[in-house]
């Protein structure tokens, strides 16, 4: 399983990222995969909008998810 190591996240954001990644890993249908991917995309977009990310962290999260 890929993890979000190397991406600077606060404790709460890391917990959410880990949960989203776990949901993506265990999907059992295409519809659930699309929903989980959309949630992860929205999470990263929210982090980008909030700023305070190192250059490349958002892109790395998109790749991981």
State the residue range of the domain holding 46.
11-64
Answer with the residue of higher pLDDT: 2 or 36. Answer: 36
Q: Domain for residue 29, yes or no? A: yes
Q: Domain for residue 43, yes or no? A: yes
Please measure the distance between the N-terminal and C-terminal CA atoms of the chain and give it in whole angstroms: 11
Share of the chain above pLDDT 70, in %: 94
Average pLDDT, the chain: 87
Q: Domain for residue 4, yes or no? A: no
pTM for this entry: 0.81
Looking at the predicted structure, is the pLDDT value of residue 55 above 90?
Answer: no
- pLDDT value, residue 22: 93
Would you place residue 27 in the very low, low, confident or very high pLDDT band (cuts 50, 70, 90)? very high
Residue 61, both tokens: 């999260």
- pLDDT value, residue 1: 45
């Amino acid at each position: 399983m890929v993890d979000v190591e190397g991406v600077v996240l606060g404790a709460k954001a890391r917990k959410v990222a880990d949960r989203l990644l776990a949901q993506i890993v265990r999907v059992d249908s295409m519809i659930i995969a699309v929903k989980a991917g959309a949630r992860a995309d929205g999470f990263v977009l929210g982090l980008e909008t909030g700023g305070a990310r190192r250059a490349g962290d958002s892109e790395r999260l998109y790749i991981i998810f």
